[in-house]
Chain A
Amino acid sequence: MRPSGPSVVPRGPIVAFFRLHRLAAIGGVIVVLFVAAGLLAPWLAPYDPNAINVQATLQPPSRVNLLGTDNQGRDLLSRVLYGARMSLLISLTSVGCGAVVGVALGILAGYYRALDGPIMRLNDVLLAFPGIIVALTIVSILGKGLENVIVAIAIVQVPQYVRLAHGLVLSVKDRVFVEAAVAIGAPDRSIIFRHILPNTLGPIIVQTSLLIPGAIMTAATLSFLGLGVQPPTSEWGAMLQHSLQWARLAPHVMVIPGLALMLVVFGFNVFGDGLRDAMDPRLRRMSGTPGGMA
């Protein structure tokens, strides 16, 4: 049985698009590899990422350990793969939650005039801080650890979605098909879900692809600061935390996790840029800034 979902979009233009935007295609490949590495880490990893081997610490890349070992003799390739899994888990859940809450609030603020003021002013408060500061604050309230990091990063995403959805609703609300729906007496719920929400999805998807790299970076930053995912969990930022002290003996310990992080963020950035151009070149001005350090 063939899936019937995306067949609405003809394949030709997509192929043509990526031929034109080679960078976006490269980004797409990186994103796919990252997702695959994250999902399949338990099967791809040659060793247990936390298995300590004091006989083989700080080994350079070799046939036994393709990317070498760290200061406790743990296999770096396995740790990088499990790190991808951790980044994937954190970024998808946090951006997903942030998107749902943010879009809901943004639509409410845009649709009901009475809610506009309170929601948007609160939003201004969150936007008055750089993302990493909001995340740090929330971690300081909730404590360290995986779940709290996800909550913190989700809250960082919320104002971005609120602002976007709010603007989109305001621009859609005056269109004829919404007026028509109001005129025939459609209930608010149906207007929001059947007429407004579908017309905001495109930019929201683009926004999501551009916010994921920021979420990955924020998670890594928190772990690097020792306030995020706690050791011995494999996480790229956490792997970099004490790497400088081993770098003299084994530079790969410092180079590899950072390279992985940069590659994935780069992939999402160029892929998101391409996606934005493909969806609608005019969105260049509307959707948020490219991800990375927030």
Chain B
Amino acid sequence: MAAYVARRVLAGVPVLFLVVTAVFFAFQLIPGDPARAFLGPEATPDVVERVRRELGLDRPVIVQYASYLRRLVQGDLGRSIMTRRDVSLELAAPFLSTVKLSVASIVLATVVGVLLGTVAAVRQGSAWDHLASIVALLGISIPVFWLGLLMMYLFSVNLRILPSAGDDTWRHYVMPTISLATFSLAFIARMTRSSLLEVIRQDYVRTARAKGAPEWRVVGYHALRNALLPVVIVVGLRFGYMLGGAVVIEQVFAWPGLGRLLVAAVGQRDIPLIQGILLLFATSFVLVNLIVDLLYGFLDPQIRYR
């Protein structure tokens, strides 16, 4: 197991290094002068020239890249153009806010999705099964921001029972969490259903029934335990993608998270801030994948020794 863990951890390092490199060089392609963008249109040419030299923009790209890496290792992500504050300071609170929303959503999606998928598989062909299929199909097709708008119209504008913006109380969480969870919920329900249907016909499930185990134990213990292996992967992947979904949901519900910050930064072309957000996203994504890999290896011994 230790070797497996080490291998998975080490596999993430080159990906992160490549992400850093790609993020650095991608933004070299932007036409225009970053020093000019930093100072605004009023600055005189010699001021721009001085700042260019101070920021090291007059040096060759490869030297800039080296110093970018060096500062990164020291935790220095540069300064935001919009606020003139350190990017790392700008990111802390929004990141926490986004993580809270994502965790709430993935918990909701997993619990409801697995329940729905299980009921659908156990009662295959029943009204429950059809309901689950419809929910799953609509869930992967509905535009999340539209779902958010519809809920907001109903619960904030008309009924006035839920707040439409912010992240202060649990009531603020209701609509963004549901919006963000819907796609993953549908996905997880589908996956659970098909995985459980495969498992439920296996010999060991029949054996469990034959020895007289109660039905809830057959499904909940013998079948579900094996059926949930692929679901674990899907949950992990969905969690990574939640950070992407959050971009839109946060915009709809004025959620003070990383996604909203990214949209603002893109709108203002605040490159150091965009780069910082991207690196944080990528790091979280790689970390989540790592945890999923480890969890999967833990749950399924076959993977570990491959």
Contacts and interface: CB of A to CB of B under 8 A. Distances in A.
Interface of A: 23, 121-122, 124-125, 128-133, 136-137, 139-141, 213, 217, 220-221, 224-227, 237, 240, 243-244, 247-248, 251, 254-255, 258, 261-262, 265-266, 269-270, 289-294
B141 interface: yes
Given A128-B282, A128-B285, A240-B146, A221 B248 contact: yes
A250 to B, nearest CB: 11
Most B C-beta atoms less than 10 A away, residue of A213, A258, A293:
A293
- Which has the most chain B C-beta neighbours within 10 Å: A23, A139, A247? A247
B240 A130 contact: yes
Interface residues of B, number: 47
B266 A265 contact: no
Contacts of B152: 244
A212 B175 CA distance: 28
A221 B145 contact: yes
Interface in B133-164: 137-138, 140-146, 149-150, 152-153, 157-158
B29 interface: yes
Contacts of A225: 247-248, 251, 263
A70 to B, nearest CB: 15
B262 A136 contact: yes
Nearest to A293: B183
Interface string B79-122: 00000000000000000000000000000000000000000000
30 contacts: A124-B18, A128-B19, A128-B286, A129-B244, A130-B245, A132-B244, A133-B244, A136-B266, A140-B265, A140-B266, A140-B271, A141-B27, A220-B143, A221-B248, A224-B145, A226-B267, A240-B149, A243-B149, A244-B157, A247-B153, A247-B157, A254-B149, A254-B150, A258-B146, A258-B150, A261-B143, A262-B142, A266-B138, A269-B137, A293-B241
B146 A130 contact: no
Contacts of B66: none
B274 interface: yes
A231 to B, nearest CB: 15
B278 interface: yes
B3 interface: no
B303 interface: no
